[in-house]
Amino acid sequence: MEVSLFYAISAAISYGLLQGLEGGRSRTAAGEGQDPRRAFSSGAMTGLLTAGLGVLAAELLRLLFPGTPWPLAALALGVCLAALFCREDSSLGMAGGLLGSLLSAAASARWLGGEGEAALYLQGLLAAGLLASAAGVLTVKLVWDREFRSALDTGVYAAAVVLILAAFVLGGFLPEGENARAFAAVVCGVTGGLLVEKLARLRGSGFSAFWPVLIPLGASLAAFGFYGWLGVAIGAVGMLSTGGALLSAEICARMAEVSLHRPEEEPFPGEKEETSDVVGGNCLAGALSFGALALLAACAGLLDFSGLTFPTGMGLLTGGAFPFLLLGLALPPGTGRLGRIFPAAAALAAPAALLLSLGQEAETAFLLGAVLAGLPLAGALSAGEGDAAGQPLLLLLEMTGAAGLIGQAFLHL
């Protein structure tokens, strides 16, 4: 399995580099002309390299630290912290947010599944996601003659279909009876991701940006019904592992729109519902929601819900208030991204404070309350005028969850 995974990583990264070379040749041939193919090749390179390097880092950490998922959670924390200080509407911000969510989901799945058959299934799912992303990029190339936005959507759907088929085949690594449940969890995650992408494009037709944040919650609940807390994490991995194709399409749409438009011109063909920066932002919000929910699952799997104790109650109450505290700590909008320094420090320190003062049970309940209260709040911020506030809040919630996992791990050392 390890050899197959490294082959998949090498293939995806190599194909991404070839796309970058192709985009460079297109740019040289066209000079400053406007060529959407160049935009797609550049987006494909970014998407496949992001996903490929992320899965490579996850696999190397698994080999270097067997049976200890906290290094992967630490890497996810670092990536989310870096993405927090990027512009949300930039390609780097999208790539960082997607990569941080993928690493968070992978860390959660390894925390819940251990190193047995579930670990093999997760390895295969990560490799399949990379190959599915490459297949989605290739599909766009094959159907490029059709309408531009339709070709990009076809690539995203092709990646989803390839991953679902691979998840069905990979079920052979799981014990009898669990394979069908894990497959259903992956289908829930992938379907939720496709719904987020579709509704993000229909926002201008009456659909609020509130839904791209809440749909992952519904998909995660369905995955939980099929496979428990591990199903939530695996469903998130399934959706995020095909993020290379989604990131390629969104970066392509954004670059093409910027290069082909002047403000006074008509909307870009296929983008009549909403501009690509808003669509990409809502898709990123959905991906961040999946990552936060996966971390929630990892922490909630440690919590005993049979009775409400004082530490559990205090953790839930403080966790429910924590997202509002994060917003209150942010400096005024005019200060730019520096205004996120204090919320980031709070996201790192709060889990440790709960763990040291009230114990593991309180910290786990705190993380549960923070995500459950923070997701609707992020959706409300995205649906209103403060579009830029929803994504940083989701990144902060991911950082809080990753910091909580690291604290839980060190507690058992």
Domain enclosing residue 191, as ranges: 2-304
Q: What is the mean pLDDT of the chain?
A: 76
CB 400 within 8 A of CB 343: no
Contact at 8 Å (CB) between 186 and 163?
yes
Of the ranges 1-10, 23-32, 131-140, 246-255, the best mean pLDDT one: 131-140
* Most confident segment among 12-26, 58-72, 254-268: 58-72
Planar angle of CA 25, 27, 33, nearest 5 degrees = 145
| pLDDT, position 15 | 59
DSSP 284-346: HHHHHHHHHHHHHHHHHTT--TTS--HHHHHHHHHHHHHHHHHHHHSPPGGGGGGGGHHHHHH
Flag whether 125 is in a domain.
yes
Residue 158 lies in a domain: yes
- Report the number of distinct structural domains present in the chain: 1
pLDDT of residue 223: 92
pTM of the model: 0.84
Q: Which of 19-33, 138-152, 368-382 has the lowest mean pLDDT?
A: 19-33
Say if 144 falls within a structural domain.
yes
Asked whether the predicted pLDDT for residue 256 surpasses 50, the reply is yes
CA distances from 323 to 64, 298, 366 (A): 35, 19, 11
Query: Which pLDDT band holds residue 267 (cuts at 50, 70, 90)?
Result: very low
- Residue 403 in any domain: the answer is no
**pLDDT per residue as tens digits for the range 178-192:** 888 999 999 999 998
CB 167 within 8 A of CB 125: yes
Neighbours of 185 (CB within 10 A): 29
In a domain, residue 360? The reply is no
CA atoms within 13 A on the CB side of 187: 12
Is there a domain that residue 391 lies in?
no
The mean-pLDDT minimum among 81-95, 96-110, 201-215 falls in 201-215
Q: What is the pLDDT of residues 322-352, one digit of tens each?
A: 988 888 877 555 455 666 788 888 888 998 8
- For residues 246 and 194, the answer to whether their CB atoms sit within 8 Å is no
Q: What is the pLDDT of residue 185?
A: 92
* Chain centroid to CA 318: 26
Residue 274's pLDDT is what?
A: 47
Cα 16–chain centre separation? 20
Q: What's the confidence (pLDDT) of residue 26?
A: 44
Q: Is residue 408 part of a domain?
A: no
Around Cβ 264, how many Cβ atoms within 10 Å? 5
Task: Answer whether residue 315 is part of any domain.
Answer: no
